[in-house]
Amino acid sequence: MTEKQNKKHMYKRLIFLMIFAALIVGGTWAINILKEQTQQSSGTPAKTDFNGKTIRLHLRKSMSPFQPHIPEKEQLEQEKTKNIWKDQDPAKVLFLASQDMENGDFPLAEDRLRTALVFHGRNVKIYALLGKVLYYQEKYKEAEAVFRQQVYLAPEDPVSMNNLSAALAKQKRYHEAISTLHQLLKSDPSSVSAIFNLAGMYARSGDRKNALIYFQKSYELLGHRILFLSRDQNFNAIRQTPEFIKILEKAKKDFQKAKTADSMTPESNTAGKVK
């Protein structure tokens, strides 16, 4: 091979190497451009800054939940509210109010129960006891309102209806009291308390005929126990009538029979038995 041919062959190899290097550089550049476009389209931030330096993101190992700052005064108010709710537990209030009544402190019992109703406005037991407290303080109009609320919350409760009729009777609204008891008898025809109270209400209203009818029904249901109940002042208007006296005489005979039956116990024969 001549010198001229060697130079020609060397130039060919040099051109081939330059083309190969250009392809590598161009391919690398194209790949970087494609990566940047892909990151921009997918919303993924580039990992390098404008100077080409790698951006490194550091995440905190633990993220504690945000704790809002509550002023000390507000914290005290929250604690106070919690304590008030604890103090107004219905069972606790009813127990304390009952103790107040036993001690004769009806105003304190009333205040305690009224406060409890602010927190437990639909508690029937609290209404029932508050109505009694007002009744014993002769606040019959207020007791009526409380018993009406009790009836509204528990329409099937016979005690609430009886209490309402008693509060009405104390206000000399006998016809309303009688109507209330008849309403109770519609749902519970065998209610002894309603029948007995009707006898007293009719007697109070001056209706002796119906008073004696319901007093007779009361005797049929209660037997000789009517003797003690007949002392109620509601029966003063019929106490001297022959019918009333006759019913009490029957009740006295029933009482004597029951007393004799209780006193007659069979003699026990223990002979020949091991104790």
Token digits of residue 134: 């007002």
Q: What's the confidence (pLDDT) of residue 15?
A: 72
Most confident of 35-44, 60-69, 221-230: 221-230
Token digits of residue 227: 């003797």
The angle subtended at Cα 95 by Cα 94 and Cα 101, nearest 5°, is: 85
| pTM score, whole prediction | 0.63
Residues in Cβ contact with 226 at an 8 Å cutoff, skipping those fewer than 6 apart: 215, 218, 219, 247, 248, 251
Give the three-state DSSP class for 49.
Answer: coil
54: which strand partners?
Answer: 48
Give tens-digit pLDDT for 253-274.
999 998 888 776 555 444 344 4
Residues 193, 182: Cα–Cα separation, whole Å? 12
Q: What's the confidence (pLDDT) of residue 108?
A: 96
Give tens-digit pLDDT for 155-184.
888 899 999 999 999 999 999 999 999 999
- Greatest Cα pair distance, the chain, in angstroms, is 166
Q: What's the confidence (pLDDT) of residue 157?
A: 87
